Structure 1
Amino acid sequence: MARYTESVCRLCRREGCKLFLKGDRCYSGKCAINKRPTPPGQHGQGRRGKVSEYGMQLREKQKVRRAYGMMEGQFRRYFDMAEKMKGVTGENMLQLLERRLDNVAYRMGFGESRPQVRQLVTHGHFLVNGRKVDIPSYLVKAGDVVTVREKSRSQELFKKIRENGASKPSPKWVEVNFETLEGKVVALPTREDIDLSIEEHLIVEFYSK
């Protein structure tokens, strides 16, 4: 599977908003969006023409896909799953994305960014209900408990988290004990719990053509 290896700050500049892919740097004055708000490339500072309806739908889809760190095929599968669920397709899709293990661990404060936590999950640093899970796309359920493995707690990152807690507050649908490096999913996330500015109806329209 192809993997993006260039600067992730270019992705934020391309989408014209912060995707929070660099952790604390995104909240500082060093953020690329603050320094260079124009799209990357030699024509980035040029005058933009009117964006078509398709263009707006595409950009919204790309923004969400890049924020959660997925390739196109995987992202499309989440849409297909959401379409088969009861309720509003766009909201169902966002809930599925939020339920990914890498995102849940990120929301709990067990890493500075989704890309960092995704790597930690892949390397087997987390347990779900006492069992090691190294699949970032694993979908957690209400009541699941996510814990940092005992042998991983000596790492500098987890020592810092244990001593200082998360740098950002956790959402209301999770409860976290930083002393034990354990978090619980107390409820499924709702549309109001998603802090990224998303117009999911544009994504639904993009895939429904």
Structure 2
Amino acid sequence: MARYTGPSCRLCRRENMELFLKGERCYTDKCAIKRRNYPPGQHGQGRSKVSDYGVQLREKQKVRRIYGILEKQFRAYFEKADRMKGVTGENLLSLLERRLDNIVYRAGFATSRTEARQLVRHGHFSLNGRKVNIPSIQVKVGDVLELREKSRKVASINESLEGVVRRGVPQWLELDKDAYKGMVKSLPVREDITMPIQEQLIVELYSK
């Protein structure tokens, strides 16, 4: 499967915002966008006029990169959101938030979604008592995510749980650090997504 293997910080600079792709590094002064707050490349510091299409495209690319999803899969999420009842843009963000790798990240077991995806792929978690290794699984209300017994001594997971106070756990999730468990209390709503995302621009882009 194709995936981006280049520098993560380059993506943040391209979108002109912190996407928190490198975990703890993003909270320090080493963060690339804090040191070079302009797009990458030799023309990065030049002025450029962006069309309406360009603005919509950048918004779509930004959300794709936040959640680490390729174009074909992202388009499938949009089409599914468009078929659901309610506001398409909000449905799209809800589907992305309910991915298993995002739950692992948001609950505090990983410092980035990339790390969370790797942990899921390597079989460190169980969902409702069953081992899972598919990052794109959609969770439901009442689902219980648990770190497997053999994985509870993994240093990176324990370090991430120690720093969860700073990052915070969203209201729709519940974390029991001592039991290494997380539970989905409710479905995420638009107010639970704090990243500066203008989902209507994505709807406009795909509706052309």
Q: Give the TM-score band, short-chain normalised.
A: over 0.9
What's 1:77 paired with?
76
Q: Measure, in 2, the Cα distance between the counterparts of 1:188 and 1:86.
A: 15
Gaps of 5+ in 1: none
Aligned mates of 1:78, 1:196 — CA distance in 2: 19
Compare 20-29 and 94-103 and name the one that shifted more: 20-29
- Stretches of structure 2 that go unaligned for 5 or more consecutive residues are none
Distance between the aligned counterparts of 1:100 and 1:56, measured in 2?
26
1:55-134 equivalences under 5 Å are 55-134=54-133
The size of the alignment, in residue pairs, is: 207
Contact 2:109 2:158 in 1 (8 A): no
Cross-structure match for 2:2: 2
Query: Does the aligned pair in 1 maintain the 2:125–2:131 contact within 8 Å?
Result: yes
Counterpart Cα distance in 2 of 1:137 and 1:185: 16
Which amino acid is 2:100 matched to? L
List aligned pairs for 1:128-143, cutoff 5 A: 128-143=127-142
Once the two structures are aligned, what percentage of the paired residues are identical? 62
1:161 Cα deviation after fit: 4.5
What's the secondary structure of 1:127's corresponding residue?
strand
SS of 1:140's equivalent in the other structure is coil
Residue of structure 1 in register with 2:13 after alignment: 13
Are the equivalent residues in 2 in contact too, given 1:128–1:146 (CA < 8 A)?
A: yes
Q: 1:16 to 1:154 in 2, by over 3 A?
A: same
State the match for 1:33 in structure 2: 33
Closer, same or farther in 2 for the Cα pair 1:159/1:15, shift >3 Å? closer
- Scaled by the length of structure 2, the TM-score of the pair is 0.97
Question: What's the CA shift for 1:156?
Answer: 1.2
In structure 2, what is the Cα distance between the partners aligned to 1:94 and 1:105? 17
Matched to 1:88, the amino acid is V
Residue 184 (structure 1) aligns with = 183
The CA distance in 2 between the partners of 1:115 and 1:125, in whole Å, is 14
- Residues 143 and 187 of structure 1 are in contact (CA less than 8 Å); yes or no, is this contact kept in structure 2? yes
RMSD across aligned positions (CA): 1.0
TM-score by length of 1: 0.96
